[in-house]
Amino acid sequence: MKNQIILSVVLSAVLAVPGFAQQAPSGGGAPPAATGSMSASDREPLAPTKSSDFWDGDDPNLVNLIVHPFASKKYVQRQVGPIRDRINELDELTAENSKMIRDVDTRAQQGIQLASEKSSLADQHATDAANKAQLAQTAATQAATRVSTEEQVVGNLDQYKGSAETEIHFHIGQSVLSKAAKDALDEMAAPLKGQRSYIIEVRGFSPGRGQAAITSSQKMADSVVRYLVLNHQIPVYRIYVLSMGSASMAGADGTMAKPITGGRVEISLLKNDLVSMQR
C-alpha cells in the first residue's frame, strides 16, 4: 500500500512537468549560424544562446529531467556549433586576405623590377649617347686639326726653293750622256734617295731654228730623265721637262743669257723644307 502511494506521487510529478513546460513562453532557439561570404566588418558578434523552453529541444521525460543540461551531447553541440561556424568563416577570410596580400606583393615586385629594368635601359642609352657625342666631338676636333694642317701644307706648296743646279753639255746633234754628265747626275741624285717634298726641273736647249731645235732639245732632256729614273729610281711625277729649243733664258741676275752655241740640259733641284718638316 505504501509503495503504491509513492509510485502515484512520482507519476503525478512526471505528468505535471509537461504541462508546466508547455505553459512556458515559446520562442526561437539558438540563432542560426552565419552563412555566405561576408567580410569581418559585416559580421555581428555572437549573441548568447537563449533556451526556447526548459527542455531546450530535448524530449520531456524523466531521464532528461535528471541529466539535463549537464551531460547532453546535443546541448553541447548546439552551444559550440555557432562558434565553430564563425571560426571556419574567419579561417576562410584569413586565407582570402593572405592570397590577396600575396597577389598585391607579387604585382608590386614585378612593377618595381620592370621600373628598375627600364631605368637601367634608359641609363645605358644615355651613356651610349654621351659616348657617341664624345666620339663625334673627338672626330670633329681631329678633322679640324687635319684641315688646318692641310691648309698650311697647301699654302706652303709653292715654297719650293732651288737647292742645286747641274748643267750637262752635249755635242752638236748628239743626245748620249758622257761619263762626266753621268757623274754630275749621280752627285745630284744620290742624296735624294728616301727623301720627299722635292721636284727636279729639266730644261733642254739646242741650237737651230724652229721645231728642229725643240725636237733636239727634247731628246737631250729625255736622256737625262731616263738616266735619273732608271739609275736612281726618281719618280717620274717629280720630274718636269721643258724643251726650250734655241730660246735664251734670262740669268739669275736678270741679264739675258748668251746665245745657244751647243746642246745642253740644265737640271735644277727644288726642295720644300716647310712641307718636309710638317710631315
φ/ψ of residue 7, rounded to 5: -65, -35
Tally of structural domains, the chain: 2
Same domain as 175, residue 82: no
Is the confidence at residue 266, as pLDDT, over 80? yes
Place of cell 529531467: 65
How many helices (H) does the chain have, and how many strands (E)? 6, 4
Q: Is residue 63 part of a domain?
A: yes
Render pLDDT for 120-159 as a digit per residue (tens, 0 to 9): 999 999 999 999 999 999 988 888 887 777 666 555 556 6
Predicted pLDDT at 204: 92
Q: For residue 83, what are the domain limits?
A: 2-92
Contact 213, 246 (CB under 8 A): yes
Whether 98 is in a domain gets the answer no
H runs (alpha helix) in 24-72: 62-67
| Arithmetic mean of pLDDT, 228-242 | 92
Last-in-domain residue among 54, 69, 92 = 92
β-strands 161-170, 263-271 pairing: antiparallel
Q: Which of 274, 183, 192, 271 is nearest to 232 (CA)?
A: 192
In tens, the pLDDT along 198-221 reads 899 999 998 888 898 899 999 999
Q: What is the pLDDT of residues 72-123, one digit of tens each?
A: 567 677 777 788 888 988 899 999 999 999 999 999 999 998 998 999 999 9
- The reply to whether omega before 69 is within 30° of 0 (cis) is yes
The answer to whether residue 259 sits within a structural domain is: yes
264 and 165 assigned to the same domain: yes
CA-nearest of 247, 246, 267, 264 to 174 is 264
pLDDT at residue number 272: 80
173 and 264, same domain (yes or no) = yes
Tell me the per-residue pLDDT of 4-59, one tens digit each, with 9 for 90 and over. Answer: 555 555 555 544 444 444 444 444 444 444 444 455 555 566 555 555 555 555 56
Of 73, 92, 111, the residue that ends a domain is 92
Q: Which of 76, 92, 108 is the last residue of a domain?
A: 92
User: What is the full DSSP assignment across 81-114?
Assistant: HHHHHHHHHHHHHHHHHHHHHHHHHHHHHHHHHH
Looking at the fold, whether 168 and 272 belong to one and the same domain comes out as: yes
Kindly state whether residue 195 falls inside one of the protein's structural domains.
yes
For residue 206, give the CATH number of its domain: 3.30.1330.60
**What's the grid cell of residue 207?**
741650237
Q: Is 119 contained in some domain?
A: no
Q: Is residue 178 part of a domain?
A: yes
Output the pLDDT for position 51: 53
pLDDT at 4: 53
For residue 153, tell me if it sits in a domain.
Answer: no
